[in-house]
C-alpha cells in the first residue's frame, strides 16, 4: 500500500485514519482517486475535499463511517448511495448487542478494505451482488450459534463467510497454534477466500488457464469432500514444503490455488508498502542482500518482484528477531511454489489488462457543474456501483457452511 499524507498539513497518515493527529483535519478515503483526503465541513452533512486532484469536490461520509464508526470511505455528494463501495459488499454483520462484536466488525471491515485496495491496484474488479446478482461478491460476518454449531469460514459461489471469532486475537492465536500454522490473520483469510472467488471467475472456465493450472496445481475435479476428510485424518505429507506454500495447500488443488493466490497478494502488498516508503537495503558487506529497485509493483515483472522479495524478507525477519518477535515472514519458497506464484501473476496480469487506459470521471469541483476527465490506467479504476440504500442486517441465527473451509 502506498504512503498517504494529510492534504492540510502534509503529515503522514495511514489508510485507516479518520483524523490527522497533527492538525486534526477530518480524513477519508476517496476510491475514485485511490487516495486519503483531508476534508472540511461544507454543511448539510457534506464535506469538501482538500486533495489537489479532487478540485474541491463535495462528498458525504459512508453511513458506516458517519454513524457506525467502522469505515472511513467517502461517497460523492450527488450519489444516492448511503453505503460506500466497500460496505455494499457486506450483507450480514454481527449482532451489535453482543459485547466486543462492534470491535470485531471494525477489524473485519479494516481487513476487507485493505484487500479491496490491493485488488483495485491490480485491476481486479470486485462487483457486488447488487450489480451482478449471479456472480457478484458478498460477505457475511457471522458468529457461532447457541446450539454449538460453528460457523465455518469459507467461500460458496461468491459468498464469503467469516467467523467473527477470527477477529479475536486470542482465539485466532489459539487456532493458529492448534492447526500448526505459521501465519493466520484476518487479512490472510480475506486473501485466501477471494482466491476461491477469482478461481471461478478467471480460471475455472477459461481454456487458456485450465491446462497449465492442472499441470501445476493438480486436477481441481478431484472429490473435495474426500480430500478434506483425508487431510484432517492424515495431515500433510512430510515433505510438503518441497512443493507447497503451506500444509493446508496440500489438501486439494482448490486450496493450493487459494493459498498461493493469498501469498501473491501478500508479496505485492508488502513490496508496494516498502517501495512507497522508500525502503532500501544498502549493507556495508558487499555479500549481503541489497535492495534499491523501486519499480511500482503493478508495473513490475514477476522476476523483478521475486528479486526484491527475498532480501526484503531477510531484513524483515532480522528486524523481528531484534524485537524478540517471531519471524514476520515464516515461509520458504521452493521452486515449484515460485512457479505457482508466477502462474498467479500471469492470470492477474491478463485480467488486469495493465496496458489499457481509459477516461474516467473524477469528482466535479463544487459549483462548477463540470466533470473532469482523467486519464488513468485500468487498474486504478474502481467499478461503478449502482444506488444502494439498504443498511446491513445483523446476524441473529447460526450459519452453516462447509464449502472450502479454513
Q: How far are the Cα atoms of 189, 259, 336, 398 from residue 164, in angstroms, in the given order?
A: 11, 21, 34, 12
Prediction pTM value: 0.86
For residue 219, the model assigns a pLDDT of 96
For residue 288, the model assigns a pLDDT of 79
Average pLDDT, the chain: 87
Three-state DSSP class for residue 161: strand
Cα–Cα nearest to 195, from 91, 143, 124, 285: 124
For residue 204, the model assigns a pLDDT of 94
| Euclidean distance between CA atoms 244 and 333, whole angstroms | 8
User: pLDDT tens, 123-140?
Assistant: 998 888 888 888 899 999
User: pLDDT tens, 265-294?
Assistant: 999 999 999 999 999 999 888 887 789 998
Three-state DSSP class for residue 20: coil
Indicate if the pLDDT at residue 354 is higher than 50.
no
Q: Are strands 74-76 and 372-377 parallel, antiparallel or unpaired?
A: unpaired
Indicate if the pLDDT at residue 49 is higher than 50.
yes
Give the confidence band of 344 by pLDDT, cuts at 50, 70, 90.
Answer: very high
User: pLDDT tens, 113-126?
Assistant: 999 999 999 999 88
Work out the average pLDDT over 178-198: 94
Give the confidence band of 353 by pLDDT, cuts at 50, 70, 90.
Answer: low
Q: Are strands 138-142 and 90-93 parallel, antiparallel or unpaired?
A: parallel
For residue 125, the model assigns a pLDDT of 82
Least confident of 131-140, 164-173, 233-242, 370-379: 370-379
User: CB–CB of 358/376 below 8 Å?
Assistant: yes
For residue 346, the model assigns a pLDDT of 97
| Euclidean distance between CA atoms 179 and 50, whole angstroms | 48
User: pLDDT tens, 376-402?
Assistant: 332 222 333 333 333 333 333 333 333
Half-sphere exposure of 215 (CA within 13 A, CB side): 7
**What are the backbone angles phi and psi of residue 215, rounded to the nearest 5°?**
-65, -35
Percent of the chain predicted with pLDDT > 70: 86
Identify any residues that bridge with 28 across adjacent strands, giving them in sequence order: 37
Q: Are strands 58-61 and 357-362 parallel, antiparallel or unpaired?
A: unpaired
Amino acid at each position: 500500500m502506498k504512503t498517504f499524507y494529510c492534504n492540510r498539513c502534509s503529515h503522514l497518515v495511514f489508510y485507516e485514519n479518520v483524523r490527522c493527529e497533527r492538525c486534526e483535519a477530518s480524513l477519508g478515503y476517496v476510491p475514485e482517486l485511490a487516495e486519503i483526503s483531508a476534508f472540511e465541513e461544507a454543511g448539510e452533512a457534506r464535506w469538501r475535499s482538500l486533495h489537489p486532484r479532487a478540485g474541491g469536490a463535495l462528498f458525504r461520509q459512508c453511513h458506516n463511517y458517519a454513524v457506525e464508526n467502522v469505515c472511513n470511505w467517502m461517497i460523492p455528494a450527488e450519489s444516492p448511495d448511503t453505503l460506500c463501495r466497500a460496505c455494499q459488499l457486506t450483507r450480514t454483520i454481527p449482532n451489535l448487542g453482543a459485547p466486543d462484536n462492534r470491535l470485531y466488525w471494525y477489524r473485519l471491515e479494516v481487513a476487507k478494505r485493505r484487500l479491496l485496495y490491493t485488488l483495485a491496484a491490480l485491476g481486479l474488479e470486485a462487483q457486488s451482488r447488487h450489480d451482478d446478482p449471479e456472480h457478484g461478491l458478498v460477505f457475511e460476518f457471522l458468529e457461532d450459534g447457541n446450539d454449538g454449531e460453528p460457523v465455518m469460514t469459507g467461500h460458496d459461489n461468491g459468498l464469503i463467510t467469516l467467523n467473527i471469532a477470527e477477529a479475536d486475537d486470542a482465539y485466532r492465536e489459539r487456532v493458529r497454534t492448534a492447526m500448526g500454522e505459521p501465519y493466520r490473520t484476518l487479512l490472510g483469510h480475506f486473501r485466501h477466500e477471494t482466491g476461491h472467488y477469482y478461481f471461478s471467475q478467471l480460471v475455472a472456465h477459461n481454456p487458456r488457464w485450465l491446462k497449465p493450472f492442472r499441470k501445476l496445481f493438480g486436477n481441481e475435479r478431484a472429490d473435495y469432500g474426500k480430500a478434506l476428510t483425508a487431510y484432517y485424518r492424515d495431515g500433510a505429507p512430510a515433505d510438503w514444503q518441497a512443493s507447497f506454500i503451506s500444509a493446508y495447500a496440500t489438501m486439494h488443488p482448490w486450496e493450493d490455488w487459494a493459498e498461493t493466490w493469498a501469498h501473491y497478494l501478500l508479496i505485492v502488498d508488502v513490496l508496494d508498502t516498502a517501495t512507497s516508503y522508500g525502503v532500501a537495503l544498502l549493507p556495508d558487506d558487499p555479500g549481503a542482500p541489497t535492495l534499491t529497485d523501486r519499480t511500482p509493483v503493478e508495473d513490475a515483472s514477476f522476476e523483478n518482484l521475486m528479486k526484491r522479495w527475498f532480501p526484503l524478507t531477510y531484513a524483515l525477519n532480522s528486524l523481528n528477531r531484534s524485537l524478540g518477535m517471531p519471524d514476520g515472514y515464516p515461509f520458504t519458497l521452493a521452486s515449484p511454489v515460485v512457479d505457482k506464484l508466477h502462474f498467479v501473476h500471469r492470470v492477474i496480469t491478463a485480467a488486469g489488462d495493465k496496458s489499457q487506459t481509459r477516461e474516467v470521471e473524477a469528482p466535479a469541483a463544487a459549483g462548477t457543474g463540470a466533470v473532469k476527465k482523467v486519464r488513468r490506467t485500468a487498474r486504478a479504476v474502481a467499478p461503478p456501483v449502482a444506488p444502494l440504500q439498504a443498511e446491513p442486517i445483523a446476524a441473529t441465527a447460526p450459519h452453516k457452511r462447509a464449502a472450502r473451509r479454513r
